[in-house]
Amino acid sequence: MENQTEPDAPPRATAHGGGSARSAVAAGKVGVAIAISRVLGLVREVVQAKYFGAGLATDAFGVAYRIPNLLRDLFAEGAMSAAFLPAFARRLASDGGRASAWSLANRMVNALLILLGAVTLLVFFGARLLVYVQAAGFAAVPGKVELAEQMTRIMSPFLLCVSLAAVFMGMLNACGSFFLPALSSSAFNVCCILAGVFLSPFMPRWGLDPVVAMAVGALAGGFCQFAVMVPSARAQGFRYRLTLDLSDPDLRRIGKLMLPAVLGLSATQVNVIVDSQIASMYGDGPVSWLGYAFRLMHLPIGVFGVAIATVATVDASRHAAREDVAGVGGTLAAGLRLAACLTFPATAGLVAFRREIVQLLFERGEFLSDDTERTAGVLLYYAFALFAYSAVKIVVPAFYALGDSRTPVRTSMLTVAVKVALNLLLLKPLGFYGLAVSTTVAAWLNYALLRRRLGRGFGGGRRVVPGEGVGVYLRIAAASVLMGAFARLVFVCGGMAVPASGAPALGLRLGFAIAAALVALVPLLRLFRVREADAVLGMAAKLAGRGR
C-alpha cells in the first residue's frame, strides 16, 4: 500500500515526451493495482467457466449481473465520477481546502444514499421486468428467466455499494492516492472466487442453483470494494457527517453534469442491452461466449487504458480548474499516444493467440472445446476495439472537466444508432458474431467523433488536442504487427522444442511467446521512431518495481 500520509502527487503531463514519461510512471502505480485486480478477475472467470461452463446458468448470471453493472457504469464509474472529480479537485484547490472538499464529499455520499437507495428498491421489485428487457429470449428455456430474476434481486444493493466506492476512489485520487483505490476492486474479485469455489457446493442443499453463489459473492464483493477504502479516506482527513445541502453550488453542478452524462452513457448501455436481447435468441451459450470474450478484451483496457485515464483525468481536472486548455490538451495527447503504444501490441497479441488464450484459461470442467472456438471467434473481432475503448476513457472526462457535457451525449446517441443499424445488417451473414463486429465499429466511431471535436477547437476556438496526423499511430501499428508476428514465430518454434500437449505445455509455449513479445516491443517502437518507447519502458520498470 502506498503512503497515505504523504501521497505522491500525479505528474503533470505535457505534449512532450518527458510528460509522457512522467505520466507513465504515475500510471504505472495504477497499472500495478489494476493488473492485480484484473488477474484476480481473470481467475474469477476461470472459476466461473470451470464450475458453470457456458450455458443456461452462466447466461442467467450474466444477464442478472449486467443489470446492476449497467447502472454502475451509468451512475458510479461513469457519470458520477466524471462530474464529481473535477468539483472535488476545485474544492481542494480553493481557499477552503480539504475542509470544504470533505463537506462536498459528505453531501455527495448522503445524496447517493437517498437516490440509489430508491433505485435499489426499484431493481429488487422490478427484477423480472428487467430480465425481459435484456433477454426476452430466455422465456423459451424453462426456468431461465426465474433464475436470472432471483440473482438480480440478490445483487440489487450492488449499485449502492459500488457507487459509494466510486466517490471514495475519486476523493483519494484527487488527494494523490492512486494505488489503493485501483486495488479496491480486487476485493470484489476475491469474494466472487471464494463464493464460486466454496459456497456453490452448498447451494443445492438450500434449494438453490449452484450459480447463485456467484450472485452472493458479487454482492459481498461490492460491499468490500467500498469498505477497504474507508480507512485510507479517514487517514486523509475524511469524517462522515449526516449532512445534505441541496443548495450547495458544486453539488448542484454535479447533478447538472450527471444528467447529460447519464444520457450519453446510456446510449452505450442500450448497445449492450440490444446485444443481449439478440444473443438470447440463439439459445444457451451466446450470451456467455460474448461475455467471456468481452472480459478478455477488457483485461488490457483495465490494466493500461484505465490506468492512463485515471492519472490523465486528475491532471486534466487540475488544468481545467486553472482554465489551462493547453495543459488539458497536452495531458490528453500524451495519454493517447501512450495508450496506443500499449493497446496496439495487446491487440496484435489477442489476434495472434486468441484460441490458445481461451483454451488455456477456460477449457476445463464444464467449458468445452466448442465453447473455446466460439469464444475465440468473438474475441477476434473485439480485439480491434482495444485502443478505441481506452481512448474514450481518456478523452471523455476532459469534456466534463471543461464544462462540455453535450458533446459526449451527442456522439453516444449517434454511436448507438449506427450500432443498431450494423446489428441488423450483419446479423444474417455473421450471426451473433456480427454483434462483436458492430461493437468494434461503434467504439471507433465514438472515439473518432470525440477526437475530431477536440481537434477542431474548444474554449473560444482553441484546440484542446492539436492535430498530429495518423503517422505516429501507423508507426505504432507497424511495430505491433511485427511484434505479433515475432511472438507467433517463437510460439511455433516452441512447439518443436516442447512437443507435448496439454495445458502445462501450452502455457509454457505461450509464456515464452509473450515474454519474447514484451522484450521486442520497446526496440521495435524505437526502430519506428516512436518517442513514447522510453515512456513504455519507464512504465514497465515501475510495474516491475512495485511487483517486487
Mean model confidence pLDDT for the chain? 79
Across the range 352-378, mean pLDDT stands at 90
Residue 323 forms part of a structural domain: no
CA–CA gap between residue 468 and residue 466 (Å, rounded)? 6
Report the run of H or E that residue 507 belongs to, with start and end: helix 503-527
DSSP codes of every residue in 225-277? HHHTTHHHHHHHT--------TT-HHHHHHHHHHHHHHHHHHHHHHHHHHHHH
* Burial degree of 132 (CB within 10 A; 0-12, 13-18, 19+): middle
Q: What is the pLDDT of residues 255-308, one digit of tens each?
A: 776 666 666 555 566 667 777 778 888 777 788 888 888 888 877 765 655 556
Q: Of the given ranges (86-90, 399-403, 489-493, 525-529), which has the lowest mean pLDDT?
A: 399-403
Q: Of the given ranges (2-11, 12-21, 95-104, 514-523), which has the lowest mean pLDDT?
A: 2-11
Residue 120 forms part of a structural domain: yes
Angle at 58 between CA 52 and CA 63, to 5 degrees: 160
- Find how far residue 441's CA is from the centre of its chain: 18
pLDDT-derived band at 309, boundaries 50, 70, 90: low
Q: What is the pLDDT of residues 405-442, one digit of tens each?
A: 678 778 888 888 888 899 889 888 888 888 889 989 98
Residue 452 forms part of a structural domain: no
Does the global pTM surpass 0.85? no
Phi, psi of 463 (to 5 degrees): -70, 135
What is the span of the domain harbouring residue 130?
56-263
CA–CA gap between residue 172 and residue 360 (Å, rounded)? 37
Q: Of the given ranges (193-202, 250-259, 515-524), which has the lowest mean pLDDT?
A: 250-259
Q: What is the pLDDT of residues 461-500, one digit of tens each?
A: 445 554 556 778 888 899 999 999 999 999 988 877 777 6
Residue 176 forms part of a structural domain: yes
Residue 206 forms part of a structural domain: yes
Residue 114: CB atoms within 10 A of its CB come to: 9
Q: What is the pLDDT of residues 198-255, one digit of tens each?
A: 999 999 999 999 999 999 999 999 999 889 998 988 888 888 888 888 878 878 877 7
Residue 544 forms part of a structural domain: no
Residue 239 forms part of a structural domain: yes
Residue 355 forms part of a structural domain: no
Contact assessment for residue 454 and residue 472, using Cβ atoms and an 8 Å cutoff: no
Q: What's the number of domains the chain is made of? A: 1
CA–CA gap between residue 208 and residue 357 (Å, rounded)? 32
